Each structure stands twice: as C-alpha cells, then as structure tokens.
Structure 1
Amino acid sequence: MTTASFTGLSRIRYVRAFTVRGGGADYHDQGAGHWIDDHIATPMARYPEYRQSRQSFGINVLGTLVVELEAEDGTVGFAVTTGGEPAAFIVEKHLSRFLIGRSPADYEKIWDQMYFSTQYYGRKGLVVNAISGVDLAIWDLLGKLRGEPVYHMLGGAVRDELQFYATGARPDLAKEMGFIGGKLPLHHGPAEGLEGLEKNIENLSDMRSKCGDDFWLMLDCWMSLDLDYATRLAQRAWDECGLKWIEEALSPDDYWGYAALKKNAPRGLLVTTGEHEATRWGFRMLMDMDCCDIIQPDVGWCGGVTELIKIANYADSRGVMMVPHGSSVYSYHFVITRHNSPFAEFLMMHPGPTEVVPMFAPQLLGEPVPVNGRIRASELDKPGFGVELNREIALHRPYPND
C-alpha cells in the first residue's frame, strides 16, 4: 500500500489501449448456443434475415476495449469496456495527450478535456465508451495509489451488502439462486405481429407460474418496440403476469415516446431505460421530460464514474431511482454508496444460464460474484476496483505510442 498523499501522487507515464475478443466486457461476443443471442427482439428484427441472431447484424464486431494507465512508480490501473479497435485508436491517438504527465487525482479536469475535445465527433456512443474506459482506469489507478477501494473514495458504503436481480433466460433458476428478481429478454417484436405478442405473453406467463407471485419479473425490450406495441405489451404483461417493469422499449433517442409510454403504462408498472444513454445531458432529458421511473446508466458507456456521479446526484435531487446497467465491479463500487440505488443488476453469463459465473470472465481476475443473490461490501475492499487484468488472454494493441 502506498503512503503517497492525495496531492503528491505518482503521475501517469504510459497510456495503453488493447482489444480482446470473446466475452468479458463485450458480453455479446459469445459462442453458438448462448441464451443472449437466441431470437431476441431488436430494432433490426424488422428484417427477417437479422431476426434470429443479434450477432448476424454485428452486435459483437467491436469486441472489448482494455485501457491501461501506468504511473511513474510502476503502479498500473486498468479498466474494460466495449469499443474495440476504433476506441483503442481514440484512446491512444487523441485522449492520451490529456493523461500523460497528469495526476489521476485531476479526474474532473481530465474528463472535461476528453469530452469537449471530442465533442465535434463524439457526445455519445463509441467516443463516450472510450472516455468511460479511460475514466474507469483513472479511478482504478487512483485507488491503487491511495491504497483505497473506489467505493471508499466515493463516500463509503451506505449498506453492508449489495442485493441483485438477475438478467437471463431462466428467472425460475435465478429465484432458486437467491436473486430478488429476474429480467427476461423479449423474444418477439412488432414485425412478428400478433402471433409474436402472444408468444411473448405465453413466455412471461410460463415464468410467472414457475416463479410464483412473490418474485419480480421484468422484460428487457432492447430498443425494439414502437409506442403502440409497447403500450399493448405493458398492459397485458401487467394484467396477466404481474410484470414489475418494462425496460428500454423504444429507441434511446425517442424521449417523447418514452414520456408517452410512461403516461400510458398501467399504474404500478415501472418504465425503465438509459442503458444506451450517455452523459449528464442525456439523462437530464430523460428526467426532465418524465420519461421513466428508473434510470439505468452503464458506467462503462455513460462517461465513467466521474460522469455517473453527476447523473446520480441529479437523479437523487429529482427523487428518481437509479439502477445501473450490469457492469460488474464498476457498478458495484458505485451502487454500494448510493441510497437511490437500492439494488443492482447481475448478467447471467453462463450459456444456460444454469449457474452463477463471473460476469466479465475471462478478462478480470478476482471478480466477486453473488452468493444467494448478494455480495458483501467487504468483498470490495481491495484497492481500486479490486480486480486485476488476466494477462493470459490474447491482448492486442493496435496503435502503440510507446
């Protein structure tokens, strides 16, 4: 553990960006037969040739981005997110100039410079993914230099443990594993008509019968619906199956549609979204326009921890619940510090999914996983985010600067 003071920290000397294929942060990059690629409704499902598999239209083409920051004393901080080779180019060729020679304690200024220097070609998506990866690596490095876990630097835990709901194809098994709820992928979108809608209700009804009435069931619609279909699905799913929430039903840019859906939804059914939203400004739109009951930023996509602090504070001031999109330790360290984030998401990355496995395997070593649907705060007590990069995976650095 270093004894360096916060103001006298070792500065960043090297910036490296790698790409990796096969699972991990790009969790859609899976082999054949995985539940996450089995006829899940998408905006591309209007085209029959892209309906069965999300990989068929390229959901996994980018792969994982690994950002590594090495300080002058040899301490290394890192993070994983999505973005692959294009994001690696942005990190090494553009963002590195705001990092080399700087203290990781300057994360606010660094974030500001990264964002506004790329605003003319960024603002959301790939560029903010790259910025998020850098920001997470900064926080990991800062924690390691200070000898503190990230959640301590964010104000400390407000509860002794995290409790989780599980996202996957088998909520019935998730209940047996101790999770508080299960979120199903929606399989059929508007292009499959009334028959598809009936199949969606049948699938949800089957899971309700297996799970009982006391278990949360949610639907992940992955941006695939229109307002009319989403309204009809929400009404029937509430009336017939006791659905807890309907998630990301519409395009993330359709704030007006979300506002209408929230008004149309049955009283008691929650409308949630934000997985593919970014920055304080995007989430301000969602909240100011009363688009949803719960916001779901992904810390690896929305701007990193530095930006998530601002998003969470605005949500707290508005009385809006924030349940981040599943992003392993990067969200755990944040959720444990927030009263308006009472539980967290766990992505069931086992192909079945019939067992609990580390979410970002094989890229992270030491990644905690829920036991009986919970993780103790004490399991997050290692410096930084508490994980190490698996050096045995095939790391590729396409744009080296040193």
Structure 2
Amino acid sequence: MAMPTIKHIRAFTVRGGGADYHDQGGGHWIDDHIATPMSRYPEYRQSRQSFGINVLGTLVVEVEASDGTVGFAVTTGGEIGAYIVEKHLARFVEGQLVTDIEKIWDQMYFSTLYYGRKGVVINTISGVDLALWDLLAKVRGEPVHQLLGGAVREELQFYATGARPDLAKEMGFIGGKMPLHHGPAEGEAGLRKNLEMIADMRNRVGDDFWLMLDCWMSLDVNYATRLATAAHAYGLKWIEEALPPDDYWGYAELKRNVPRGMLVTTGEHEATRWGFRLLLEQQCADIIQPDVGWCGGMTELIKISALADAHNVMVVPHGSSVYSYHFVITRHNSPFAEFLMMAPKADKVVPMFNPLLLDEPVPVNGRIKVSELQAPGFGVRLNPECKLNRPYER
C-alpha cells in the first residue's frame, strides 16, 4: 500500500476548558487561592486567572492526508500557536509522507530555534507532533500505543490531582495530590496554614494513602526545605514543582535537603530533551513529569523517557489525558499516571479535556484498562458542539 502524504494542516482555537484546562468558570478549585510565582503580589493571590493563566486558550491542530484521513490533537497555545502553525510550520508538514514524523519534528524545532526552544512555540510543535501520531495510527488502523511498541501492562493506575484527596481515595485512586495554597510572601502564618491543611488531609485519608503536594513553581529553596521537613511527619510522598523551572541548582539542593524517603518531582513546565538532560544530570528530581502537549510531543517524550530510564528516574507525565495514557502504558519506568480532577469541587470523575473531546476514557476505581485504548489513533473525536475558530485560514 502506498503511504499517503499530508495534504493540509489547519490550526483552530477554542475557549472554555479543553486542553487549556485552567480556562474554567468561577468557583472552580483550580483557581482558588493556589500558591504561584505571582503570590508575592497580594492582588494576584486569590485567583490564577487574575494574572492571566487562562489567556491563551486551546489550540487544535488538524492534519489531513491525501487519502482523506484526518488526525488531530489539542494543546495550550491559542491564537499565538495557530499563527505559528499556519504561517511557519505548515511548510514542513504539507507534502510530506505521513510517516515522516521525525524529520518534520526536526525541521519544526530547528527552524524556530531563534524564537522558540520553550514555551508556546514548543507547545505548538507538540500539538502538531501529536496530530501527526494520531494521523499515522489512523492510517495504519491501530492505536498509538501499538506504534510505541505495545502495552507492557493490562491497565493504567492513577493518582488524582485536586482539592479533595479524601474523595479521590473513595473513588479508588492510589493517591491524591493537592495544591499548596500559601507561598513565602504570606509568612509564618501561611506556612502554618499549609501544614494544617496537610495534617487535616492525612487525618482524613489515613496512613496508607499517597498524599502529595503541588507547589506550582511558587517557593524558594529555604521555604521548600522547611515545608518538606515539617510535612514529613504527615507522610508526604513527594513535593512537586517547588521552584521555578529554570532553577536547576535549587532543585539539586532541595533534593539533597528533603527528609529521607520523600521524593522531589518536577518537569511539568520543562521542555525538550535538552531541558530534561539538565534536570537529570544535575540530579534534580526522583520523578520527572513532562507534559506531552508542552515538552515537544510524543516524538520528544520518547527521547526524554529514554534519558530518564538511563538515569534510573521515573517518568510520570503531567496530566494530559489520552495523549499521555498511550505512552505510559508502554513504559516500565512510567508505573502510574496522573488524572486531573476537573469537576469544580473535585467530587466526581469527569473527562479531563471536557467538553472538547468525545470518547475520552476516564478512570473507574482509579484505573483504565488497555482494552479501552484500542480505537485507531488516540481514540478521541472533537466535539462538534464546541465552536472552533480558524484565525489564520490560508
């Protein structure tokens, strides 16, 4: 069978949930006084949306093959990402064989090097790359995880990220990760409130349930060390993304400082094999957490994971729905996965990229079986009721 070529690539934007899961309505736990790098300013402490965490919106990338097959993927990038796809990256995609994913990635990355390397440009490249994997798998009539070498286990097990680890335990998750609410600028009173929250949640979930803390880049080494040391009494499994992502030296120091047995994790906002090489070689983390929609896509995540495996470091991707599920189930050094609790009160399991994706699998009793990941591609469809806008139509 002759392999089809890529005829068109199109970029759309959409608002309200989807891949930009911070783009939520009022009253959602994900926007309720969570510590951030902007918490040093009192006027930006209560809401992350107040400083613009939701300004980009979702980017949807579609690639259409010469035989009519369409692959797609979603990420965070919005109109900026759509411009980059249509005005710059399209030249490296259209006309290529659907199998030419490695060459396309290389050309996208090195052609944007002078203004890219990280951030929204790599988010955008990630979206294109994931759409290409979806397209190739659909052309071949198999799920993406089979292209990656096949499943190494029969099911995925998940921990839940949200405001209510106690409810996550009742739902069958193996652990619960909750957001830190108070940063260094809130002083000793804020530190006490953080520890009281951890103590209260440990009392609710009991001794045997994993309890983790997501600090979202908001701390410094001294504060993070004090917090980790004090929280050790409550059996905190790990402290996540405590420092700004460029502070590799701080992460290495923090990893040396934390109590024995507590893990340091990070990488959600890191990108490409070169960024993760620094984290790994400087021994910054016990677990790295690349987001496949932000780190460079599936093509780059494969390389990142291989590096981590050589350093005996686990890879537990940041919650990115089916795009990470198909990867995690193929890797021994990714023994479990993250699920973001997108219900406003974190009191029920709903699809992570709701309402944008249809057929998106969700954990039942904290697990998803590989039999639920057998549809061609990533196995999801775009919801036709979500209004897509193509701002840079060619």
- The equivalent residue for 2:154 is 160
1:81 aligns with 2:66: no
- 1:205 is aligned with what amino acid? A
Aligned-pair CA distance for 1:72: 1.1
- 1:361 is aligned with what amino acid? N
Partners of 1:104 and 1:337 lie apart in 2 by 22
Of 8, 21, 25, 2:19 maps to: 25
Identity %: 77
Of 301, 318, 323, 2:316 maps to: 323
1:394 aligns with 2:380: no
- RMSD between aligned residues: 0.5
Of 173, 177, 181, 1:183 maps to: 177
Of 377, 385, 388, 1:384 maps to: 377
Aligned-pair CA distance for 1:31: 0.3
Unmatched runs of 5 consecutive residues or more in structure 1: none
Aligned-pair CA distance for 1:322: 0.6
1:229 aligns with 2:196: no
1:364 aligns with 2:357: yes
- The equivalent residue for 2:112 is 118
Q: Deviations over 1:177-207 (max 9, x none)?
A: 0000000000000000000000001011111
- 1:354 is aligned with what amino acid? D
- How does the TM-score come out when normalised to structure 1? 0.98
- 1:286 is aligned with what amino acid? L
- The equivalent residue for 2:258 is 265
3-state SS, counterpart of residue 105 of structure 1: coil
3-state SS, counterpart of residue 104 of structure 1: coil
Partners of 1:117 and 1:238 lie apart in 2 by 46
- The equivalent residue for 1:198 is 192
Partners of 2:308 and 2:97 lie apart in 1 by 29
- 2:271 is aligned with what amino acid? A
- 2:255 is aligned with what amino acid? K
Q: Deviations over 1:264-289 (max 9, x none)?
A: 01110000000000000000000000
Aligned-pair CA distance for 1:299: 0.1
- The equivalent residue for 2:29 is 35
1:346 aligns with 2:320: no
Aligned-pair CA distance for 1:233: 0.3
State how many pairs are aligned: 394
Partners of 2:39 and 2:321 lie apart in 1 by 29
Stretch deviating more after TM superposition (323-332 or 95-104) = 95-104
Partners of 1:91 and 1:227 lie apart in 2 by 38
Aligned residue runs from structure 1 range 47-196, under 5 A: 47-196=41-190
Unmatched runs of 5 consecutive residues or more in structure 2: none
1:279 aligns with 2:263: no
